Structure 1
């Protein structure tokens, strides 16, 4: 199966919560990865999302532990929509 990863950076001006993570995350830039797989057997190229992940902590923050946390795409959209500076 052919897969691809699309990486984006999301900026938050305020703290936010992510499911499955107890503490609120501070404002900053966060890397978000979207994993897609090729849908085979079609006469055109089409991709299906199979996962979305956010890297914790924020970019540039020094930490002993870094996490790649799965996140629902709707949840990341909801978090960015709540940010008054977006």
Structure 2
């Protein structure tokens, strides 16, 4: 069976949790690796997703290490939507609050 891998990048503006993991990941840029297999026996080229991974860079004592966390496409989309919603809420709140000028 023929397979292919696709890499992409996603940036989270806020700390986040993804999937069933109880581990909070820091805001930052993360690589996404998607593996797919070619469906055979049909008259056109089509692929089926077999795995999605979030590449997590080690920090502090684990610096230099990378782990591949298995995730689903749905979990990834949910985490991105939550990050976007939190950023919009935070930005709206900050925009509404202007710094007070000193009055003497």
| Aligned CA-pair RMSD | 2.0
Q: Which deviations, in whole Å up to 9, do the C-alpha atoms of 1:23-65 show, x marking residues without a partner? A: 200000000001000000110001000000000128xxx7143
Structure number having the greater strand percentage? 1
Partner of 1:69: 69
Which protein shows a greater Rg? 2
Structure 2 residue runs of 5 or longer lacking an equivalent are: 89-104
Structure 1 residue runs of 5 or longer lacking an equivalent are: none
Partner of 2:39: 39
Task: Give secondary structure in 2 for the equivalent of 1:43.
Answer: coil
Q: How many residues align?
A: 83
Q: Taking CA–CA contacts closer than 8 Å with sequence separation of 6 or more, which of the two structures ends up with the larger relative contact order?
A: 1
Q: Please give the TM-score of this superposition, normalised by the length of structure 1.
A: 0.85
Q: Please give the TM-score of this superposition, normalised by the length of structure 2.
A: 0.72
Q: Which runs of 4+ in 1 moved over 4 A?
A: none
Rate the CA distance shift 1:2–1:33 in 2: closer, same or farther, 3 A. same
Structure number having the greater helix percentage? 2
